[in-house]
Structure formats: C-alpha cells, structure tokens
Amino acid sequence: MAVMSYAQAAALALAHAMEADPRVVVLGEDIGRGGIFGQYQGLQQRFGTDRVIDTPISEATILGAGVGMALAGLRPVVEMRVVDFALCAMDEIVNQAAKNRFMFGGQGRVPLVMRMPVGIWDSSAAQHSQSLESWFAHVPGLVVVCPATPQDNYSLLRAALDCGDPVVYLEHKTLWGLQGEVDVQAREQLGSARTVRPGRHLTLVSWSRQVHACAQACEALAAQGIAAELIDLRSIWPWDRAAVLASCARTGHLLVVHEAVQAAGFGAEIAAAAAEATGCRVRRLGAPRIPVGYSPVLEAQARIQAADIAAAARGMLEQTR
C-alpha cells in the first residue's frame, strides 16, 4: 500500500499497463508534458514519443485515430482534456467506436479507453464544467466508468484497459489532488459497486465527486440517529443492479445523488429500476437544468452540497413516518 494522489494513481496504472503490454499507447494534447492535471506525468520520458503521442488540437482527429489504432490491434488511451471537448468527436464515439463490433459481426473490436474529465471545475464556466455520463450510458456498445478514489482510479483504469470494448472513463476535475492509499495488487471488475458504509434507514447511491459529499451527509445524518447506506456505483454502465436493489429492498428508501443535471440524468434510470423491482420510495437529487455559471455565486447554484443531501434524506424519511 502506498499513499498517492488520484492523478498519480492514474499515471501509475498506465505505466504498469504499458510495461505489461506493448500494445498500450496514449495519445492526446499536451500529454508529453504530463497532461493538464499531471495524470500522464513522466510517461513520455519513460516510454518515448512513439507510445505517448502528442497530437494536434482536433478532438475528432484524435479519437478517429484512436478507433483506427484499436481496430488495427493496439489498445489506445485517448485523452480529451475535459468531457466538454469530446462533443467535437461524438461521431467517432457514437457511430464508430460504439457500433463497430455489432455492425461487423464481431470481426473487429475497439479496445479503446477515452479519458474525459468531468464535473464542475472552479470558475471554469459552462463549457468546461459539465457532467455528461448519462449521454454515454444511453449509447449501446459503450462502457461508462466514474472513479471516486485514488484506489479506484488505479484499479478501474487497469480494468478499463483490459475490457476489450470502448470505455468512456470519466475522472472528476476536482479530485486530481485527492490523496489515498493504493494497493496495486487489487483488481476490480467493471460493473461492481462499492458499499462505502452500511445502513438500515435509507440507501444513498452516487458516483464520482458526489460520493464524498454523500459521505459527509451520512456523518451528519448519523448524528441525528439516521443510518444511511452509501453505495458508490463506480460504473455507470454496466451498473450494479444487484447491489443497489438488495440495499433498497432492505431500507425501503432510495436517494440517488449526482452532480449532473437532474432532468434525464442517470439517477432516473436507477430510481425507476429500484421502484419497479422493490417498490421502495425513491428520490433524485441533481443540478438544476442551467449552464454552470462563471462567477462563484452563479456556480454555487449548480452544486449539490452535503447539507442539501442530508436535508433531502431527512425529508424522505419524515414523509413516511
């Protein structure tokens, strides 16, 4: 076990994967100098410019090249800098990477990892602060992953590289400096949730940065005698239905929390599945349907804080008393 940051864990996962498999290559803007968050620090110096490739500023070109590399037998990791920029390459993601295996009868596979940092980034405004996981979860053929801890950013990135299908890998922009213990021997399976803390009154389901806000809310609720079970979904698609539904069946209450806009967010899928399967009481908590503002006052309107989560949980339980 070693203590390292979320960014260092990702760089270490890539280094270990590149050592083990010469087919793993990395391409994107500014990765030669370590990436804008330090998540590629030292890799080009170690593996050379043929495997850690700086590209022009053209997201469609970068992702198109990654799809071609994958079809030719490589295992590319494509850096989009932030998820907002991936919108310039949606045809390559949705119509090429996601559909190739199906449209050509399995003759081609696209073992491609697309790294797209997500979430509100302080004072970065509407075009650099989006959470778009539900967009990608809606596309058949894509795997969608949202790590919340340094350990998961190591283990899940290794799992994504081994997946064999295109993975949309969504790291939160404000978690890069988060410190935590990392066991490089630990292996995780995509689609497996993590129970952060057990509880009996309410099930809280979240992912990415909001897991940490939910953990703070659980502490506040515990001080009031409310035991909330917190589940970190980790993979948006596939998602761990068994773990979530089992918890909902025990507690009878589900609150899904995400940073993305609440309207048509992935929380709606989880809430609907839980209500249909268990009959539990459900509620969603997400951002209002507004662009993220630049000023701190406007930006705060799009944030879901621990106090908001605790209040929503208390409100659910009070309605059933």
* Active site residue ranges: 128
Nearest to 101, CA basis, from 133, 75, 67: 67
Distant-in-sequence, close-in-space partners of 17: CB < 8 Å, separation ≥ 6: 24, 157, 158, 161
Neighbours of 97 (CB within 10 A): 28
* CA 18 remoteness from chain centre: 22
Nearest to 156, CA basis, from 9, 41, 34: 9
Distant-in-sequence, close-in-space partners of 194: CB < 8 Å, separation ≥ 6: 152, 231, 232, 234
Residue 29 token pair: 């803007």
For 228, phi then psi, to 5°, come to: -95, 135
In degrees, rounded to 5, the angle at the alpha carbon of residue 148 between the alpha carbons of residues 147 and 152 is 55
| Identity of the amino acid at 257 | V
C-beta of residue 117 within 8 angstroms of C-beta of residue 107: no
Pairing type for strands 52-54 and 113-115 reads unpaired
The gap between the terminal CA atoms of the chain, to the nearest Å, is: 45
C-beta of residue 83 within 8 angstroms of C-beta of residue 151: no
C-beta of residue 142 within 8 angstroms of C-beta of residue 113: no
